[in-house]
């Protein structure tokens, strides 16, 4: 490894689950700092193997940072292991936040350079968290690793299910990564190279990569993609598909004939490194306008997708027949399963259904009915909903503690609370007392059952449930006492029209006191969209439940327009549901 001429500071940052990850910081040497370059290494390696870029990029007025991912290099953890790929993606977010708070580098002054598995981590982070970084450079992202053994992936999945955690050793030799003799020798002699990778991370890598490539339109930050032309490690096709689908207005693809997988460590890498440098300087010299997504309901990938799902299928077509049989099966299941029956009666998107899913207690006809209900409750969508509830409660408690720290009263308003269970659970679990709790919903059933829940918990002295329209701006704006914490959970996902959402958010923005908080949810992706649209009914008089996904970037822009600034976010391990915390900016 060629060390940098700059002196690196060796530091640590704390992750959300209490790990202390190692990173290097090379401060700028060229006077006033313009920004920062954050480097993410490939799988099996560590940050020191990207240290040569600190000098080669020739950006003296930029700080450089490089971490050792958990389970790699000098960071703790079992070698090659992380609890999940989503854990490592959240580590990326935590690292960027740490650079902001500890080193004073704003997110929009950061450019990210990532290789291989690191590039998949970063692209997943860009998809799920919608950061406002200056740009991304992704070198040979490992969207599809060449396993070479037939049926390797389903075989590994089966073995993981049967055996639990085990490790797979890398087959890649250094001579297939680069033509550079010095890089080959340093790889073979490096005691910190991690040969094994945990099977859960390998399988999660495939799943995350497939999701991100399929939904790359959600990524709108300027992106540069470098593709090694003679890559022995990963396939090219997903890289090209990713680039074509990117939603970025500024994007650049560079193919490098003859390059092996270690793109930025290749023998003749100088032209590639120069292209990265040029891309970075262009973004900092003339920052591009961000992509405006506030009209994405009228045109764009998710608008087209929802319109396609809303189109009826011919009952004589194979797909039409398949979904007709699925609906018939669900009707039969509703005679045995209490959860499916409730969905048919009130809508699978109703507050009553969600409350049933939250309780997660299978019920129905003895044996068979309960088995069907358990399968229904364990579907990936409902598992995601339960995780969303936990994240909503976590961020409600976080906001309550922030308010208490500012010596502000906690006055909660949920504009479409369903039965209000998650709000009441969050308040009960918080050490901070809520001065008032206002739960609102349009459904008289939800109001009735929510009031019963308040009475059951003996909270009538500070909680009330009223029937109200979440899209009535004036009704929201005139709530008294003015809330210091507003909650919107699972509502906007049900309505494709951004004008309605903007009207509702404007009312919330009018209502919440300056410095107060908003907890809001999003659904940037869902693996069962067509099944939901073709087989399940909504609370709107039994109409089909057709959803339009909003990317995280779109949802954040709508919230920002209403006068809020996002300060925290959570996402489930499948990337389905997000929960964010935003603060009302001063007017």
- The answer to whether the beta carbons of residues 82 and 147 sit under 8 Å apart is no
Q: What is the pLDDT of residue 30?
A: 81
The label of the residue with tokens 């022995």 reads 232
Spatial separation of the C-alpha atoms in residues 401 and 404, rounded to whole Å: 5
Q: What is the pLDDT of residue 3?
A: 61
- The answer to whether the beta carbons of residues 577 and 506 sit under 8 Å apart is no
Spatial separation of the C-alpha atoms in residues 301 and 299, rounded to whole Å: 7
Which residues fall within 8 angstroms of residue 109, CB to CB, at 6 or more apart?
34, 35, 36, 134
List the one residue out of 17, 135, 153, 136 whose CA is nearest residue 86: 17
- Whether residue 325 is predicted with pLDDT greater than 90 in this model: the reply is yes
- The answer to whether the beta carbons of residues 529 and 494 sit under 8 Å apart is no
**How do residues 214-262 score in pLDDT, each as one tens digit?**
999 999 999 999 999 999 999 999 999 999 999 999 999 999 999 999 9
List the one residue out of 53, 64, 111 whose CA is nearest residue 274: 53
- The answer to whether the beta carbons of residues 84 and 78 sit under 8 Å apart is no
Tell me how far CA of residue 16 lies from CA of 63, 94, 400, 568, 576, in angstroms.
Answer: 25, 7, 19, 12, 20
- Whether residue 456 is predicted with pLDDT greater than 90 in this model: the reply is yes
In the predicted model, what is the mean pLDDT of the chain?
A: 95
Spatial separation of the C-alpha atoms in residues 296 and 291, rounded to whole Å: 10
Q: What is the dihedral of CA 301, 305, 307, 311, to 10 degrees?
A: 150
Tell me what the mean pLDDT of segment 377-402 comes to: 97
Read off the tokens for 233.
């490690």
- The answer to whether the beta carbons of residues 267 and 179 sit under 8 Å apart is yes
State the distance between the two ends of the chain, measured CA to CA, in whole angstroms.
53
**How do residues 38-55 score in pLDDT, each as one tens digit?**
999 999 999 999 999 999
- The answer to whether the beta carbons of residues 15 and 94 sit under 8 Å apart is yes
pLDDT band at 512 (very low <50, low <70, confident <90, very high): very high
Q: How many CA atoms, within 13 angstroms, populate the side-chain half-sphere of residue 537?
A: 18
Is domain 9-285 given the CATH code 3.30.390.30 in the classification? Answer: no
Q: What is the pLDDT of residue 4?
A: 66
List the one residue out of 76, 77, 53, 57 whose CA is nearest residue 66: 53
Query: In the chain, what are the domain boundaries?
Result: 9-285, 315-380, 382-584
Q: What is the pLDDT of residue 245?
A: 97
- Whether residue 152 is predicted with pLDDT greater than 90 in this model: the reply is no
Spatial separation of the C-alpha atoms in residues 98 and 15, rounded to whole Å: 10
State the pTM of this model.
0.95
Which residues fall within 8 angstroms of residue 163, CB to CB, at 6 or more apart?
none
More confident residue, 326 or 587: 326
Weakest-pLDDT range from 141-155, 183-197, 346-360: 141-155
Is domain 382-584 given the CATH code 3.40.50.150 in the classification? Answer: yes
- Whether residue 587 is predicted with pLDDT greater than 90 in this model: the reply is no
Q: What is the dihedral of CA 360, 363, 446, 560, to 10 degrees?
A: 30
The label of the residue with tokens 């009263």 reads 409
Measured over all CA atoms, what is the biggest interatomic distance in the chain, rounded to whole angstroms?
Answer: 75
User: Of all residues in the chain, what percent carry a pLDDT higher than 90?
Assistant: 93
Tell me what the mean pLDDT of segment 71-93 comes to: 96
- Whether residue 31 is predicted with pLDDT greater than 90 in this model: the reply is no
Spatial separation of the C-alpha atoms in residues 54 and 59, rounded to whole Å: 8
Say whether 382-584 and 9-285 share the same fold.
yes
- Whether residue 1 is predicted with pLDDT greater than 60 in this model: the reply is no
């Amino acid at each position: 490894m060629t060390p940098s001429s700059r002196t690196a500071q060796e530091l640590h940052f704390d992750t959300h689950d209490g790990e202390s990850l190692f990173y290097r910081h090379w401060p700028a040497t060229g006077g006033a700092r313009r920004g920062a370059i954050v480097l993410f290494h490939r799988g099996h390696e560590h940050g020191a193997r990207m240290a040569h870029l600190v000098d080669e990029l020739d950006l003296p007025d930029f700080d450089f940072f490089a971490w050792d991912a958990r389970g790699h290099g000098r960071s703790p953890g079992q070698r090659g292991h992380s609890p999940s790929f989503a854990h490592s993606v959240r580590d990326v977010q935590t690292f960027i936040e740490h650079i902001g708070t500890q080193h004073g580098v704003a997110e929009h002054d950061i450019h990210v350079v990532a290789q291989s598995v690191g590039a998949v981590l970063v692209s997943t982070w860009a998809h799920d968290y919608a950061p406002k970084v200056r740009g991304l450079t992704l070198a040979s992202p490992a969207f599809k690793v060449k396993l070479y053994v037939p049926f390797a992936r389903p075989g590994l999945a089966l073995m993981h299910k049967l055996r639990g955690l085990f490790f797979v050793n890398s087959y890649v030799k250094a001579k297939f990564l680069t033509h550079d003799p010095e890089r080959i020798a340093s790889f073979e002699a490096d005691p910190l190279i991690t040969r094994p990778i945990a099977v859960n991370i390998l399988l999660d890598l495939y799943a995350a990569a497939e999701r991100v490539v399929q939904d790359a339109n959600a990524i709108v930050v300027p992106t540069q993609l470098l593709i090694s032309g003679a890559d022995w490690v990963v396939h090219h096709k997903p890289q090209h598909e990713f680039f074509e689908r990117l939603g970025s207005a500024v994007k650049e693809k560079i193919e490098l004939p003859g390059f092996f997988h270690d793109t930025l460590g290749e023998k003749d890498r100088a032209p590639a490194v120069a292209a990265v440098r040029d891309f970075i300087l262009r973004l900092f010299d003339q920052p591009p306008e961000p992509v405006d997504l506030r009209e994405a309901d009228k045109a764009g990938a998710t608008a087209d997708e929802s319109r396609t799902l809303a189109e009826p299928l011919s009952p004589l077509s194979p797909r039409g027949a398949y979904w007709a049989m699925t609906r018939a099966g669900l009707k039969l299941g509703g005679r045995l399963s209490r959860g499916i029956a409730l969905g048919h009666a009130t809508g699978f998107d109703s507050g009553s259904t969600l409350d049933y899913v939250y309780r997660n207690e299978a019920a129905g006809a003895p044996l068979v009915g309960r088995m069907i209900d358990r399968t229904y409750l364990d579907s990936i969508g409902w598992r995601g909903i339960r995780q969303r509830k936990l994240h909503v409660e976590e961020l409600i408690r976080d906001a309550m503690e922030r308010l208490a720290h500012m010596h502000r009263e906690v006055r909660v308003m949920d504009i479409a609370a369903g039965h209000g269970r998650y709000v009441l659970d969050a308040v009960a679990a918080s050490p901070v007392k809520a001065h008032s709790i206002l739960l609102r919903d349009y459904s008289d059933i939800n109001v009735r059952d929510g009031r019963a829940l308040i009475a059951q918990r003996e909270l009538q002295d500070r909680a009330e449930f009223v029937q109200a329209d979440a899209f009535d701006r004036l009704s929201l704006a005139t709530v008294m006492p003015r809330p210091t914490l507003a909650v919107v959970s699972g509502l906007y996902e049900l309505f494709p029209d951004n004008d309605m959402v903007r009207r509702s958010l404007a009312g919330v923005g009018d209502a919440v006191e300056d410095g107060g908080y908003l907890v809001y949810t999003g659904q940037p992706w869902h693996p069962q969209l067509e099944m939901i649209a073709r087989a399940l009914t909504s609370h709107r008089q039994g109409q089909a439940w057709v959803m339009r996904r909003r990317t995280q970037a779109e949802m954040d822009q709508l919230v920002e327009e209403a006068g809020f600034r996002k300060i925290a976010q959570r996402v489930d391990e499948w990337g389905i549901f997000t929960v964010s915390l935003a603060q009302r900016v001063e007017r």
